[in-house]
């Protein structure tokens, strides 16, 4: 026969089990809400990533376009300078305190406010080959600094 104590013990166990199931159900629903919130946030972030990628592509295209235009400008200036050379004896008129554009600065203390233009060594070598009397040893010439105004 079933005693009263056994029935009370069974009732207590059933009550604890029902409470535990309610707790798990509440936790499950909270986790589902959190999961849905996280999914929405993931979707928002994926949209932002897509926009950033599009913007990145546009920025890269703009930079490449600007570089291409700069190259075209440099080519045009280079072509213009090579097509219209100054007469051999012509030198620009300069202020007595400032050296002209073609003058080599040997001592920077002579003109401390001047901006210097550096000519690459290959151009200096090309000029030296054209004027062998100035560089008889055919050694690589150092970089020459020119003043730019």
- What is the distance between the alpha carbons of residues 6 and 11, in angstroms, rounded to a whole number? 9
Q: What is the pLDDT of residue 122?
A: 63
Long-range contact set of residues 80-85: C-beta below 8 Å, sequence gap at least 24: none
Q: What is the pLDDT of residue 70?
A: 95
Q: Which residue has the tokens 């070598």?
A: 125
Residue 27 CA from chain centroid, whole number: 48
Which residues span the domain enclosing 10?
1-85
Q: Into how many domains does the chain fold?
A: 2
Two tokens, residue 57: 């592509």
Q: Is residue 14 part of a domain?
A: yes
Two tokens, residue 48: 């932002």
Q: Tell me the pLDDT band of 43, cut-offs 50, 70 and 90.
A: very high
Please check whether residues 64 and 15 belong to one and the same domain: yes
Lowest average pLDDT, out of 19-28, 54-63, 103-112, goes to: 103-112
CB 101 within 8 A of CB 125: no
Please check whether residues 9 and 78 belong to one and the same domain: yes
Please check whether residues 72 and 17 belong to one and the same domain: yes
Bridge partner residues of 117 (DSSP)? 146
pLDDT digits (tens, 9 = 90+) for 118-138: 556 666 566 656 555 544 455
């Amino acid at each position: 026969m079933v005693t009263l104590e056994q029935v009370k013990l069974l009732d207590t166990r059933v009550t604890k089990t029902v409470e535990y199931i309610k707790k798990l159900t509440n936790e499950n629903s909270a986790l589902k809400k959190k999961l849905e919130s996280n999914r929405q946030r993931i979707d928002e972030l994926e949209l932002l990533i897509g926009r950033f990628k599009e913007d990145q592509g546009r920025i890269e295209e703009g930079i490449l376009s600007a570089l291409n235009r700069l190259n075209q400008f440099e080519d045009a200036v280079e072509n213009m300078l090579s097509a219209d050379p100054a007469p051999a004896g012509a030198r620009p008129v300069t202020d007595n305190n400032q050296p002209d554009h073609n003058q080599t600065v040997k001592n920077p203390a002579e003109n401390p406010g001047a901006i210097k233009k550096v000519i690459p060594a290959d151009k200096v070598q090309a000029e030296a080959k054209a004027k062998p009397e100035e560089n008889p040893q055919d050694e690589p010439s150092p970089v020459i600094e020119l003043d730019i105004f």
